[in-house]
């Protein structure tokens, strides 16, 4: 409680923001399907969001430097609410796609501001606990937002209005908080040459993960609807994989700390590929079969990203964690721009299974390229490896998340040294 109480206002604001984001992310593909949007148009929604998200990560630091944290957060909350209401007024992909980009920008910006505050409030010894609490709060809030759709009628305006209300409510805890304004936000630059020299596997794999996870995160609800699942089951189908991925990071992270992380990467990608093939060939229509397969899929795909980041940082120079991890986050964002568009087109050609054709292609590329690199470069000695850091899904991360995670790792290391 001594770690929780000083940051309770920040966590509450973040939870409300993620709750609204969970509603918004799921109501759009569901309502878009009801309105007759084709799969390609629904895929563009994910592309628009990812473009806005990447731009938010890049430019938000400049906006905060000019107007301050509170004003910037107020602008992000206001525009996020406006974006939802505009989508309610104009039920057409031509409006929804660019407005979804505004939502992505607002999410990245608001999350960066909250995380910057948390990073400022956390002392080195408590950063690990605070990062864990923050991750759990966001996970449960976004899941609760998605699951709330199961109790209402998606044909009505209710969920658009509720999402807008909660976006506005997210402003209140931070606006009345007495917490001192933190330092300027982290600025991240994408240096592809430096990242490639550091770890070609990480660059290729993280882009492929962006393609796969971005496509699934955007179009999983569309797939579930076309598989014949009802609304409550669709919400479960979209939420359960994220929860499974959060749980699976523990054993997968332990395995990657004890052996060459590239073998673990291949194993997890291979597991995801098996589920891809199962969805393509079986095309299940029963509730339990779909949910079990979705959970298995999420346990694989949402554990790949932190393994990649850990592998890249094993090769990085000391003190460059934020640069490497922030750069990989941007590459993930580029993959998330391409993934939903490719999957949307594939679903138009192959039907619902096109979603898993897309992710299968990404996983095959990851496996093959990693195998090639294993033959070209020796593994990092165990003594030189860092520790695996469990993290939220990359879609929910910003450069400030990377900075907070870096501080958590350094704080834990310092605490262990002091205890020794």
Task: Give the model confidence (pLDDT) of 332-352 as tens digits.
Answer: 999 999 999 999 999 999 999
Q: Quick one: how far is CA 152 from the chain centroid?
A: 26
What is the per-residue pLDDT for 52? Answer: 95
CA 54 to chain centre: 12
CATH label of the domain that carries residue 132: 1.20.1250.20
Residue-level pLDDT at 407: 60
The answer to whether residues 192 and 330 touch, using CB atoms and an 8 Å cutoff, is no
Among 123-127, 147-151, 164-168, the range of highest mean pLDDT:
164-168
Residues 6+ apart with CB under 8 A from 280: 353, 356, 357, 360
Average pLDDT over residues 211-240: 92
144 and 17: one domain?
A: yes
Say yes or no: 135 and 198 in one domain: no
| pLDDT tens digits, one per residue of 362-418 | 999 999 999 998 888 777 766 666 666 667 676 777 888 777 776 655 554 444 444
Residues 383 and 283 in one domain: yes
**CA nearest to 104, candidates 223, 10, 218:** 218
What is the percentage of the chain residues whose pLDDT exceeds 90?
Answer: 50
Q: Is 414 within the bounds of a domain?
A: no
Q: Does residue 417 lie in a domain region?
A: no
Q: Which of 144, 163, 184 is the last residue of a domain?
A: 184
Do 169 and 203 belong together in one domain?
A: no
User: How many CA within 13 A on the CB side of residue 121?
Assistant: 25
Is residue 410 assigned to a domain?
no
Residues 204 and 325 in one domain: yes
What's the pLDDT at 106? 94
Q: Give the span between the Cα atoms of 160 and 200, in whole angstroms.
A: 42
Looking at the structure, do residues 23 and 51 belong to the same domain, yes or no?
Answer: yes
What is the span of the domain harbouring residue 152?
7-184
In order of 83, 87, 97, 392, the CA distances from 90 in angstroms are: 11, 5, 11, 33
- Domain assignment present for residue 407? The answer is no
Structure confidence at residue 278 (pLDDT): 95
127 and 89 in a single domain? The answer is: yes
Q: Rounded to the nearest 5 degrees, what angle is found at the Cα of 212, between the Cα atoms of 206 and 215?
A: 130
Judged against a pLDDT cut of 80, whether residue 4 lies above it is answered with no
Q: Indicate whether 199 and 224 sit together in one domain.
A: yes
Compute φ and ψ for 412, nearest 5 degrees: -65, -40
Q: How many domains does the chain have?
A: 2
Question: Burial code of 34-52, b = ≥16 C-beta within 10 A, e = fewer?
Answer: eeebbbbbbbbbbbbbbbb
Mean pLDDT, the chain, as a whole number?
A: 86
Cα atoms in the Cβ-side hemisphere of radius 13 Å centred on 178: 2
pLDDT-derived band at 24 (thresholds 50, 70, 90) equals very high
Of 250, 254, 238, 248, which is closest to residue 272 (Cα–Cα)?
A: 248
Out of 163, 184, 205, pick the residue that ends a domain. 184
CA-based nearest residue to 53, from 396, 317, 420, 405:
396
pLDDT 10s digits, 33-42? 999 999 999 9
Average pLDDT over residues 149-159: 87
């Amino acid at each position: 409680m001594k770690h929780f109480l000083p940051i309770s206002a920040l966590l509450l604001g973040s939870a409300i923001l993620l709750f609204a984001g969970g509603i918004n992310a799921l109501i759009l593909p569901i309502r878009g399907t009801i309105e007759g949007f084709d799969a390609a148009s629904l895929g563009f929604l994910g592309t628009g969001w990812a473009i806005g998200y990447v731009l938010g990560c890049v430019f938000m630091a400049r906006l905060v430097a000019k107007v301050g944290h509170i004003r910037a957060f107020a602008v992000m909350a206001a525009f996020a609410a406006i974006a939802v209401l505009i989508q309610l007024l104009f039920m057409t992909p031509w409006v929804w796609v660019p407005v979804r980009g505004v939502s992505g920008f607002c999410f990245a910006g608001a999350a960066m501001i909250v995380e910057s505050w948390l990073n400022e409030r956390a002392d080195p010894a408590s950063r690990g606990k605070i990062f864990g609490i923050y991750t759990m709060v966001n996970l449960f809030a976004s899941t609760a937002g998605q699951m709330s759709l199961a109790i209402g009628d998606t044909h009505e305006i209710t969920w658009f209005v509720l999402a807008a209300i909660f976006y506005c409510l997210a402003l209140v805890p931070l606006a009345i908080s007495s917490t001192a304004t933190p330092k300027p936000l982290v600025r991240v630059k994408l240096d592809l040459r430096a990242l490639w020299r550091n770890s070609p596997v990480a660059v290729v794999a993280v882009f492929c993960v962006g393609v796969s996870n971005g496509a699934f995160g955007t179009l999983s609800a569309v797939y579930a609807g076309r598989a014949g699942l009802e609304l409550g089951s669709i919400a479960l189908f979209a939420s359960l994989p994220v929860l499974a991925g959060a749980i699976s990071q523990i054993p997968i992270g332990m395995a990657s700390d004890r052996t060459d992380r590239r073998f673990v990467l291949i194993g997890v990608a291979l597991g995801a590929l098996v589920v891809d093939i199962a969805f393509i060939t079986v095309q299940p229509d029963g509730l339990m079969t779909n949910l079990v397969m979705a959970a298995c899929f999420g346990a694989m795909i949402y554990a790949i990203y932190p393994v990649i980041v850990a592998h890249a940082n094993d090769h990085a120079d000391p003190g460059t964690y934020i640069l490497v991890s922030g750069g990989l986050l941007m590459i993930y964002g580029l993959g998330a721009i391409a993934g939903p568009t490719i999957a949307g087109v594939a679903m138009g050609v192959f039907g619902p299974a096109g979603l898993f054709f897309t992710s299968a292609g990404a996983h095959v590329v990851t496996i093959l390229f990693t195998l090639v690199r294993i033959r070209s470069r020796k593994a990092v000695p165990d003594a030189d490896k860092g520790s695996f850091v469990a993290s939220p899904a990359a879609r929910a991360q910003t450069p400030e998340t990377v900075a907070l995670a870096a501080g958590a790792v350094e704080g834990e290391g310092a605490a262990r040294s002091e205890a020794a």
